Amino acid sequence: MENMDRMRRREMVSGLYVIVDPEATRGRDVVEVADAALRGGTSVIQLRDKTRDKGEALVAARAIKALCDEHDALFIVNDDADIALLSEAHGLHVGQTDLPVAEARRVLTAGQIVGRSNNGIAEALESEGQGADYLAVGAIYATSTMGKSGRTALGPGMIRQVKQAVSAPVVAIGGINAANIAEVARAGADCVCVVSAVTYADDVEGAARGLVGIINDERG
């Protein structure tokens, strides 16, 4: 029988998903940016930290986890299963070349979810077969954030195709902003992930609230 916490958290993968990264906040503290995004209605926050020492990252992770708990939002750690475990994050996100899902689960608790990045249907099916709790699909549009400029844009039609092929929640990611997020929501994404559209904004809370509003409008 599947863990109830894990099932509930999987169901919470919905709405707006914001990645906070010390390299993508215009010099602002990731905890401050996460707090503002949550006040704007963000449902999922992921901490991605590839540059700082693990001790610093853990302090930030614990602070963001506490904020997410206050807002009944999910807190996900990118790549670092040890930080996810120690911060009591709700889950871990891995890429295609990171820890396999089954190996990550050996580090995590039974209630923590694992999401995995995918560049199309074949990878999404493989990730679901590995037991990923949600499937991130992208890049939907061309993007240069976080070193992803080399990725070919898949287009929102890929979201529809993946949704038809899998049962796990689908998170659209890559180049999504206020100008195109409605199209992504219409394509059937369960959750829409952004970085710069929120974390580079002068008014982080307002930017998040605006995107959440568009998603909600599309869902009626």
**Domain of 16: which CATH number?**
3.20.20.70
pLDDT digits 0-9 by tens, 142-191: 987 766 556 689 999 999 999 999 999 999 999 999 999 999 999 999 99
Q: What is the pLDDT of residue 147?
A: 60
CB-based burial label for 128 (10 Å; 0-12, 13-18, 19+): buried
Asked if pLDDT for residue 1 goes beyond 70, the answer is no
Q: pLDDT-based confidence at 220, cuts 50/70/90? A: confident
Q: What is the pLDDT of residue 152?
A: 84
**This prediction's pTM:** 0.97
Q: Return d(Cα 17, Cα 44) in angstroms, integer.
A: 4
Q: Return d(Cα 39, Cα 20) in angstroms, integer.
A: 14
pLDDT digits 0-9 by tens, 106-127: 999 999 999 999 999 999 999 9
What is the Cα gyration radius of the chain?
16
Which structural domain, as residue segments, surrounds residue 167?
4-219
Q: Return d(Cα 1, Cα 188) in angstroms, integer.
A: 29
Q: How many domains does the chain have?
A: 1
